């Protein structure tokens, strides 16, 4: 009878062959972490920037913001929190920067998780100061709105009623930026910035599709590949992919910021990981060949 205990698992290739290539299979993971940390620290302290060429998806988002009709708002749905801040923070900053550069009024809203309202607010306040943009006139924050799909369905009928009060607790009806905003159709573009799966489906299924409101998005790199079919079908007009997308947007609007700051460390960390993969696989193949030869 076969022994199914953990100790009887197939021995690792190279485990019995003590050569250089075999030892590559047994490097403690701490050394890999340490090397990665060293590369990241080196690049943050002494960055060597590699060229960044904006992709078609980023160009799509920039164009979508640039072509928002006069008098219509850009709604940035900041559905992220500190767990993805390293990617979604620079993305939110890049989208806000693009709105202000193109003189498009924007509002922030968070459907989930609630921390997004405060984190996005801090970013917007900081950037707005540089552009002398006034709260309530050039931008506003609707705050965290509980209820996800119910919020979106209520927005179809009456946006000010659904929003009620803003981030500071004042009625949104009193804000000049809300002049002329009644239903969701008065919004010129929705930009969803998120690390959560399922939010885009709600926006497209309840707002973009039935109401015809243009939709774009900025996703964490983990989830972005799943949304390329939506780009192909035209449901999403443009998309930022991870911190790289933020850096590309910063290149497009000629305003280097948080995304660019990450990209040098990111690029060199990728080079290191590629080296790990190549060396690891080479070691595996050579050790296997050696074992086969006896």
| Binding residues vs other proteins (CB under 8 A) | 30, 33, 36-37, 40-41, 44-45, 81, 83-87, 89, 113-115, 117, 143-147, 149-150, 153, 164-165, 167, 169, 201-202, 204-206, 208-210, 220-222, 224-226, 229-230, 232-235, 241-244, 261-262, 265-266, 269-270, 273
Closest CA relative to residue 149, chosen from 217, 224, 77, 91? 77
Q: For residues 107 and 209, what is the distance between their CA atoms, to the nearest angstrom?
A: 21
Nearest distance, CB of residue 48 and other proteins, angstroms: 15
Least spacing, CB of residue 286 vs other proteins, in Å:
23
Q: How many CA atoms lie within 13 A of 75 on its CB side?
A: 27
Are 250 and 89 spatial neighbours (Cβ–Cβ below 8 Å)?
no
Q: How far is the CB of 196 from other proteins (least distance, A)?
A: 13
- Reduce the secondary structure of 91-118 to three states and give it as a string: HHHHHHHHHHHCCCCEEEEECCCCHHHH
Q: Is the Cβ–Cβ distance between 218 and 193 less than 8 Å?
A: yes
Q: Which CB atom, from 17 or from 39, has the smaller least distance to other proteins?
A: 39
Supply the DSSP symbol for 135.
B
- Structure tokens, 25: 């299979």
Q: Of how many residues is the chain composed?
A: 294
Specify the residue, 58 or 84, whose C-beta has the smaller distance to other proteins: 84
Complex with other proteins: residue 25 or 148, whichever CB lies closer: 148
Contact 160, 183 (CB under 8 A): no
**Toward other proteins, which CB reaches closer, 17 or 35?**
35
Q: Cβ of residue 92: shortest distance to other proteins, in angstroms? A: 13
DSSP 8-state secondary structure symbol assigned to residue 165: B
Which of 74, 188, 176 minimizes the C-alpha distance to 135? 176
Would you say 178 or 262 has its CB closer to other proteins?
A: 262
Smallest gap from residue 101 Cβ to other proteins (A) = 24
107 - beta bridge partners?
75, 140
36 burial level (CB within 10 Å; 0-12, 13-18, 19+): middle
Our CB check for other proteins shows the closer of 224 and 251 to be: 224
CA-based nearest residue to 97, from 119, 76, 70: 76
**Residue (98 or 206) nearer to other proteins, CB:** 206
State the nearest-atom distance from the C-beta of 18 to other proteins, in Å. Answer: 26
> Count of CB atoms within 10 A of residue 275's CB?
11
CB of 176 to other proteins, least distance (A): 20
For the bound state, the minimum distance from the C-beta of residue 27 to other proteins, rounded and expressed in Å, comes to 15
Question: Which residue lies nearer to other proteins by CB, 22 or 110?
Answer: 110
């Amino acid at each position: 009878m076969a022994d199914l205990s953990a100790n009887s698992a197939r021995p690792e290739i190279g485990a019995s062959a003590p050569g250089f290539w075999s030892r590559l299979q047994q490097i403690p993971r701490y050394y890999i972490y340490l090397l990665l940390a060293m590369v990241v620290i080196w690049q943050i302290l002494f960055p060597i920037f590699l060229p960044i060429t904006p992709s078609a998806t980023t160009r799509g988002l920039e164009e979508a913001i640039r072509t928002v009709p006069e008098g219509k708002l850009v709604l940035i749905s900041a559905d992220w929190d500190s767990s993805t801040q390293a990617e979604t923070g620079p993305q939110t900053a890049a989208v806000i920067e693009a709105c202000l550069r193109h003189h498009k009024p924007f509002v922030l809203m968070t459907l989930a998780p609630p921390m997004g309202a405060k984190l996005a607010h801090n970013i917007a306040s900081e950037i707005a100061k540089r552009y002398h943009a006034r709260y309530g006139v050039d931008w506003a924050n609707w705050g965290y709105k509980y209820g996800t799909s119910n919020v979106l369905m209520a927005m179809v009928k009456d946006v000010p009623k659904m929003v009620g009060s803003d981030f500071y607790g004042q009625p949104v009806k009193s804000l000049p930026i809300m002049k002329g905003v009644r239903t969701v159709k008065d919004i010129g573009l929705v930009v969803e910035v998120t690390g959560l799966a399922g939010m885009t489906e709600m926006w497209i299924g309840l707002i973009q599709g039935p109401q015809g409101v243009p939709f774009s998005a900025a996703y964490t790199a983990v989830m972005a590949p799943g949304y390329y079919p939506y780009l192909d079908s035209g449901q999403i007009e443009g998309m930022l992919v991870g911190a790289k997308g933020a850096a590309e947007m910063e290149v497009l609007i000629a305003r280097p910021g948080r995304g660019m700051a990450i990209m040098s460390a990111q690029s060199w960390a990728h080079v290191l990981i590629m080296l790990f993969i190549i060396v690891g696989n080479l070691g595996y193949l050579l050790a296997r060949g050696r074992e086969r030869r006896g």
